[in-house]
């Protein structure tokens, strides 16, 4: 279970890194919007399937 959580957290970190790069370089805002919506949708799907993972995710930011 923890391995799944770590893999998902790593993937999310990569997505945030790409979003920051797009923002710093001032690239197309529609691409930035697309990346943010994709990340949000992925997190919603992940948390709807597994409430324990959702709790662990929230605790990791405390």
List the chain domain ranges: 28-62
The pTM assigned to this predicted structure is 0.30
How does pLDDT run across 4-30, given as a tens digit for each residue? 566 666 666 666 676 666 666 665 566
pLDDT of residue 54: 62
Q: Quickly count helices (H) and strands (E) in the chain.
A: 3, 0
Q: In the predicted model, is pLDDT for residue 41 greater than 70?
A: yes
What is the percent of the chain with per-residue pLDDT over 90, rounded to a whole number? 0
- The confidence score (pLDDT) of residue 39 equals 67
State the helix-helix crossing angle for 29-49 and 2-25, rounded to 10 degrees: 170
């Amino acid at each position: 279970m923890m391995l799944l959580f770590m893999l998902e957290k790593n993937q999310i970190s990569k997505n945030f890194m790409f979003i920051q790069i797009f923002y710093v370089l001032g690239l197309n805002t529609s691409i930035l919007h697309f990346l943010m919506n994709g990340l949000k949708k992925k997190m919603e799907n992940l948390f709807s399937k597994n409430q324990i993972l959702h709790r662990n995710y929230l605790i990791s930011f405390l």
